[in-house]
Chains A and B, each alone.
Chain A
């Protein structure tokens, strides 16, 4: 398979493609990690009065998947994680909202990464923001209450801050020497 270098990226990725089996395994591992992180997070109560504020630890795995496996990988990890979490511990209703946010979040992350302008920080912040926006939008649609958007500013701040945090942790992981980067094909 041809090696492609992303010419827009200032970061010099060494791009190699992973054999499909390795991709699959890595994807599964990351999904499992995301699931566990999601579960651990659900155990920690956040003393914030605003509903919907989360740290989004699972996104560490999603972000990693994005940079290691590409957009498809990130998408798969996130969606499967949400579905599994929904079946296992969060409940159907929460799963729906997480899906709304998750799909939008991953799409935005992929887009932002594609531009080559942003680092992991920016991608993470953008993804977190889109996630929140997606969840709020679904909530408004379901309950027909436009005033839910009033929570947007507070949630946005939380999204930005958590995005930075998750991005930071993801970067630490991605810098691990020996981690191979793959070619991103969409």
Chain B
């Protein structure tokens, strides 16, 4: 049977377009090596406040402000650390009840500290210094001893934030034996000061990270919001001490981040947790957030609390308070005060409060 073999003629035009497209795409593919970063972040770091501190700016011109901010941080350390011999705090601690003239920064900070003491009904107490000195959570020492209960009881008598007398330019510890320990609030306060310094210096975009206490400054140049990851304390980092449980659990491969918080503008994202500094002994975990009533690590069902606030000092106050409150009371407190937070319970449950923009990690 004769067949018409004529097939539709090759549509040259279409083929030409196709070829051009192909060539265009191929050349495009080879040209693209990767994304070019819009602005290279410049980070300055220093080991201060017994942890890694960094200030990140996003333009070359701001680099000097980052350096200056770190220098400022060092200055504050000299002022507020109780391990520095002639800091304001050390002088107060050594004054034996006498009033000590201190800088305005210290006054401001102590006022905040006392405020948080009241807000938390004594849970947050910066006069706990005498008791915290009995404990050693630093990673340096291998030998670990739990302080004697009698010792703790004796020192506990010196703890009461209400007996911190703050005047316009002096501070006095009226309780015998009282010692100040600003570990739970100093980083936040300093971070706020650094943020203020950067803003006043005209820096439009910066990021402050003092040992995990994060403050975002301003807006990013491309308008995108800040993303701050919340570390998963169960899977990240090694615990302190010899009898520590290994966290490389093959049965539970989770990400090292719990999730990511998104914020815009200048905000503080701070975390307190019972896995930051702790040691194990006889199967019991002793963490660094002490209960001012017992003198022992706070008994709580919370492993970590992350709070978003405008001021970092507030964040510090809230996070520590929440740990002491426990998940139920903390959640209530946070919701009542419309505070954005992420609560991680010991059993792994995550609770968010306020209208926080939090996304769980994969």
Contacts and interface: CB of A to CB of B under 8 A. Distances in A.
Say if the two chains contact directly (CB < 8 Å).
Answer: yes
Interface in A8-57: 10-12, 14, 16
B7 A14 contact: no
A16 B1 contact: yes
Contacts of B7: 11, 175
A126 B128 CA distance: 73
Nearest to A13: B3
B8 A10 contact: yes
Given A11-B7, A175-B7, 5 more contacts: A10-B8, A11-B8, A12-B3, A14-B4, A177-B5
A14 B1 CA distance: 9
A11 B7 CA distance: 6
Contacts of B4: 12, 14
A156 B5 CA distance: 34
Main secondary structure of the interface of A (DSSP, over half): loop
Interface of A: 10-12, 14, 16, 175, 177
Interface of B: 1, 3-8
12 contacts: A10-B8, A11-B7, A11-B8, A12-B3, A12-B4, A12-B6, A14-B1, A14-B3, A14-B4, A16-B1, A175-B7, A177-B5
A12 B4 CA distance: 8
Nearest to A175: B7
Contacts of B3: 12, 14
B253 to A, nearest CB: 12
A10 B4 CA distance: 13
A33 to B, nearest CB: 24
A14 B8 CA distance: 15
Contacts of A10: 8
A153 to B, nearest CB: 11
B94 to A, nearest CB: 59
Nearest to B1: A14
B212 to A, nearest CB: 29
A175 B219 CA distance: 65
A177 B5 CA distance: 8
Contacts of A12: 3-4, 6
Contacts of A16: 1
B14 to A, nearest CB: 11
Contacts of A14: 1, 3-4
Contacts of A11: 7-8
Contacts of B1: 14, 16
A51 B3 CA distance: 45
Nearest to A15: B3
Nearest to A177: B5
B358 to A, nearest CB: 23
A16 B4 CA distance: 14
B22 to A, nearest CB: 10
A135 to B, nearest CB: 23
Contacts of A175: 7
A12 B6 CA distance: 8
A11 B8 CA distance: 7
Contacts of A177: 5
Contacts of B5: 177
A7 to B, nearest CB: 16
A177 B6 CA distance: 11
Nearest to A157: B29
B226 to A, nearest CB: 27
Nearest to B4: A12
A163 to B, nearest CB: 14
- Shortest Cβ-Cβ A-B pairs, 9 listed: A14-B3, A12-B4, A10-B8, A11-B7, A14-B1, A177-B5, A11-B8, A16-B1, A175-B7
A151 B7 CA distance: 38
A106 to B, nearest CB: 24
Nearest to A146: B362
A175 B7 CA distance: 9
